[in-house]
Copies of this chain bind each other. A is one copy, B any other.
Amino acid sequence: MLNSAHSPLLIDLYQLTMAHAYVELGMEDTAVFELFVRNLPATRGFLVAAGLEQAIEYLEQLHFGSAELDFLASLGTFSSALLARLENLRFTGSVHALPEGTPFFAQEPILRITAPILEAQLVESRIINIMHFQTLIASKAARCTLAAAGRQLVDFGMRRAHEADAALYAARAAYLAGFDATATVEAGRQFGVPISGTMAHSFIEAHERELDAFRGFVAAHPAGTTLLIDTYDTERAARRVAELAGELEPLGQRRAIRAVRIDSGDLAQQCRSVRAILDQHGLRDIRIVVSGGLDEHAVKALVEGGVPVDAFGVGTALDVSADAPALDMAYKLQAYAGEPRRKRSAGKATWPGIKQVFRERGASGEILSDQVALVSEASPGEPLLVPVMAEGRRLAPPPALAESRDYCARELRALPAQVLELGSGPTVYPVQFSAALQALAAQLDAQLR
């Protein structure tokens, strides 16, 4: 098992066949590629840009080692000129991008790469692969954050995330978009995301009696823990928690029971009855955590129903973005050798030229609308794409993840209220395309190729 995340061979083969052709044909001019989402999923009113930090790391470290060059040579299809070029290849271009945590919409460039065409083309698949996944998850997580209305959210999705990297970066992207913690320990180590964990049903089942399991777990965790109460009968388990609290009270250890977790069944009904049982026993400070198949709609229903829940564990629905497991994200050539370019394939035509997104705000900073325009145009509003790399080097140290998280929260609050509704659709937010951009597209269409 090699570390595929760093492999320069984690690309589509056509990037190498094109690189081969660029070398053979002497095509060395500068290309400008932009990354954008063609259309939002039907169930998204906005997306949240994420993954930029990992994209920059990828570009910074990109190189072909001898093992990779040997493998390519063994295929027998690539010229020694290409292999020599790859041996010395480093990313030497510049990158402009939306800061992580920025809300964005269909057809808006979120990252732009300007580099010799061989380099800019070679990184296509992996740049999409990195940015697509974290953007997908941050966008889903932001919806959960809105639904939770301030209650605590924890990422529980590692087991059904799509392999190792997805688990790790889902935790990062969810935290960026407002989650409070993750169960994934490695995300705590690599990104400083707060980690949170309780117990599994198997711990209960490994004991002859549920109360013994509770007693043993609390004894092992005197500083405080959460007890899982739905293994056999949730209400009976809640009474056992109260019984245990009664045992611990005279020892001054009652506070070791911080919370209970319910993971199945009718969560609203069980939370109400468990809350009542705990309250009857004077255990008002024991919190209730729920999990088990939750998504933003279930979270919203519990919150709006006034159900006594303190925290939500959201798993699979978050980590695979279950209702929309992919975005229609593309990375397209917009200019080559100084000339604007346009793809005209049916249903996939692109806005040509080098572009910028200008965001208009009201007096209190509230977000009103966007205009996508040529970068050369004078356009009102704040330009969203900012320079992050030049000549292959990062322009500034990465912002702290917690800082990007605060920025994301502020920007989400600034969006129009109807865009933030869970039922909001892809076209609620107003995005305009400048007259000059429309004229350029028409002009390119009129040219025969």
Contact = CB atoms under 8 A, between A and B. Distances in A.
A1 B164 CA distance: 13
A11 to B, nearest CB: 6
Nearest to A320: B325
Nearest 4 CB-CB pairings of A with B: A13-B197, A265-B346, A162-B162, A163-B165
Contacts of A331: 159
A377 to B, nearest CB: 22
A177 interface: no
B160 A162 contact: no
A98 to B, nearest CB: 19
21 contacts: A3-B6, A4-B5, A9-B185, A9-B188, A10-B158, A10-B186, A11-B158, A12-B185, A13-B184, A13-B196, A24-B220, A124-B202, A133-B162, A162-B162, A201-B345, A205-B341, A230-B346, A264-B345, A264-B347, A264-B348, A266-B346
A449 B232 CA distance: 8
A344 to B, nearest CB: 5
A159 B206 contact: no
A325 B322 contact: yes
B166 A163 contact: yes
Contacts of A266: 346
A187 B387 CA distance: 34
A341 B203 CA distance: 11
A18 interface: yes
A221 interface: yes
A201 B14 contact: no
Given A166-B166, A322-B325, A343 B199 contact: no
Interface in A138-172: 156, 158-169
B12 A184 contact: yes
Contacts of A5: 1, 3-4, 163-165
Contacts of A210: 449
Nearest to A195: B13
A370 B142 CA distance: 44
Contacts of A25: 216, 219-220
